[in-house]
Structure 1
Amino acid sequence: MTPEPPDAAPASVPAPTSRRLLRDVAYEALLSSIVSGEYAPGAKLSDAALAARLGLSRAPVRDALARLAAERLVVSKPQSYTRVAPLVAEEIRGALAVVRAMHTLAVREALPRLKKSHLAEMRAANADFVRAVAAGDIAAAIGADDAFHAVPVSASGNQPLSDTVARYTPLLRRLEHQRFSSEAARASAARHEELIAACEAGDAERAAEISYEIWAELE
């Protein structure tokens, strides 16, 4: 039998605030627990039990589970079960191929539009990434990595591209957690610097090549 999630609430549960919707609080807490492996593939998820552990009502937890199901991190059968989705290699490879292609395209399209302020944002995000990795804060490292790559995606001005990245990136979170928990994270920081340098030099081909390699290394 697959064990139930631990009784204790995840340590990373963010405190609700008036500016954040409770369903987002629930989503972030559950996503963190799934990505970290605290809730392993196949673990049963009870909305009532999760609500009690998170100190929330069942409604935002159900909304969060529905969102996680749409992102294929949770599988459910009405009136039967809700579980953490298994790691399906082909599905993850497919998502990675899509995300890799979108980020490569984003860099190509963004480069003519990048300003010094964009490069400064990328440098600041990479500095945050390096600090998070050094501190062993994997959640913060993933957040900083997101912020880094979000700069060219946003600067590209391509909304369908941005939507596609947002749709398929959640499937890669467990891979990112594994990579940023290892020495490979330092290589990612170096790759980030290479990408910034290529963008600053206006070398679209090299920048696109580096972006492709960054995401290829995740596989």
Structure 2
Amino acid sequence: MPVPRQSAPPSRALLRERVFDSLRAAIVDGTLEPGERLVDADLCAWLGVSRTPIREALTQLEKTGLVRIRPGNSTVVAPLDVRAAAEAQAVAASMHELAARDAVPLLSGSHLGAMETANAAFATALATTDVDAAIAADDAFHRVFVDLAANRLVAAILDDVTPLLRRMERARFASLTGRGSVEQHRRIVDLARRRDVDGTAAAVRANWLTLKPEES
């Protein structure tokens, strides 16, 4: 039997993507707090990579509004920005509305069941103030339409803007203000079950626009 060849190390692109995903998740979940300084050496030690993928990931994160880079000075986690969050909210609402319009005619019973299951998990998470679980369940609920619509541009745009909203949602889902989303989700499922494309799309848009950025 020939000796197996050593597997190739991960490509630079894959490494940069892994670093980007790790840093973005840490910013969104609050591990890296708004205003916190990001030191290359610390990030390299944490993620076990060289400086190059760190800098590439930080540059990409700056483009999405999660990091601020001051050349020759410092790199910090971007503070919560009300205007940026409002802009992201408007874009996300439009993208989810478009996904709903494309998805509703394709829905099956299993898709509706998945949405109901996700909403039940969402309600439980809110009741126990489990913010991480609430965000995961909310993601699962809305992902049914996005995945079924299979519009790559919609998915790519949402991948860019959703992290800005997730930072805002962490505060909302930790309070009573998030409880209304459970009923909004139920209405979305009911309209979708009746194949009401316009009604479902409008309800989805309204659900995303209920997020209220708070002035700092």
Q: Which amino acid aligns with 1:141?
A: A
Q: Normalising to structure 1: TM-score of the pair?
A: 0.78
2:76 is aligned to: 83
Aligned to 1:125: 118
Query: For 2:32 and 2:141, how far apart are their aligned partners in 1?
Result: 27
Pairwise CA distance, 1:156: 1.6
TM-score using structure 2 length: 0.79
Quick one: higher RCO (CA 8 Å, sep 6+), 1 or 2?
2
C-alpha RMSD over aligned residues: 2.5
- Give secondary structure in 2 for the equivalent of 1:40: coil
Contact 1:51 1:61 (C-alpha < 8 Å) held by counterparts: yes
Q: 1:55 to 1:37 in 2, by over 3 A?
A: closer
Distance 1:129 1:63 in 2: 35
The structure with more radius of gyration: 2
Aligned equivalents of 1:150, 1:57: Cα separation in 2: 32
Percent identity of equivalent pairs: 39
Equivalent pair of 1:47/1:58 in contact (CA under 8 Å): no
Structure 1 residue aligned with 2:88: 95
Which runs of no fewer than 5 residues in structure 2 stay unpaired? 1-13
The 1:57–1:137 alpha-carbon spacing in structure 2 relative to 1, beyond 3 Å, is: farther
Unaligned segments of structure 1, at least 5 residues: 1-20
Q: 1:158 aligns with which of 151, 172, 176?
A: 151
- Indicate whether 1:42 and 2:35 are aligned: yes
How many residue pairs are counted as aligned between the two chains? 199
Of 114, 130, 138 in structure 1, the residue corresponding to residue 131 of structure 2 is 138
Tell whether 2:39 aligns with 1:57.
no
Q: Tell me by how many angstroms 1:38 deviates.
A: 4.8
| Deviation (angstroms), 1:148 | 1.1
Q: Is the alpha carbon distance of 1:30 and 1:132 closer, same or farther for their aligned partners in structure 2, counting shifts above 3 Å?
A: farther
